Amino acid sequence: MNDSVIRSTGHTPGRGRRTLLLIVGVLCLPFIVGGALYVGGWQPARTVHHGQLLTPPRPLPAEVLGASAELRGKWLLLLAVRGPCTEPCAARVDELRRIHVALYKNMGRLRRVVVTDQPDDPQLAALRRAQPDLLVVTAPPGALAGDPLQLAD
């Protein structure tokens, strides 16, 4: 009788189990490969971030930002501009705006601040008019030594 059931249905016993195990194996394979790569210490040759943390962190002079209540509790993305703001500077400010927009729901947690040593720079004034949420502050002499881009909390 068992042979007649096999002939009439065309299925061999255990075929469903093999199919189930094959599906489960295919679904688990990415996790197994990922775990093996993680345990093995493999890292991709190239990553997309280009920044470096400031070690040790440098304090920002208090007179640069003052005691502004609107900045309290916000992350600040600072761009230090030494001298007049030229085309590369304007491109960097636009890049900061794009980063800010990319935060989407968390946009309100970040403020973009351009710290300059030239208070009457026409390029920065034009950028400020085009981007009302951009904060431009003037630093005291000597406060802009170091890296031009910083993230502060």
Strand 135-138 to strand 110-116: parallel, antiparallel, or no bridges (unpaired)? parallel
The answer as to whether 50 is a domain residue is: no
Contact indicator for 133, 126 with CB cutoff of 8 Å: no
**Is the pTM higher than 0.75?**
no
Sign, CA torsion 6/11/15/16 = negative
The answer as to whether 62 is a domain residue is: no
Rounded distance between C-alpha atoms, residue 86 and residue 123, angstroms: 7
The answer as to whether 51 is a domain residue is: no
The answer as to whether 82 is a domain residue is: yes
* Mean pLDDT score of the chain: 80
Rounded distance between C-alpha atoms, residue 132 and residue 152, angstroms: 21
Rounded distance between C-alpha atoms, residue 34 and residue 17, angstroms: 26
CATH code of residue 96 = 3.40.30.10
The dihedrals phi and psi of 83, each to the nearest 5 degrees, come to: 85, -170
25 and 76 housed in the same domain: no
The band of 113, judged by pLDDT with boundaries at 50, 70 and 90, is confident
Q: How many domains does the chain have?
A: 2
98 and 33 housed in the same domain: no
The pLDDT tens digits of the residues spanning 47-83 come to: 776 666 667 776 666 666 665 667 778 888 888 888 8
30 and 105 housed in the same domain: no
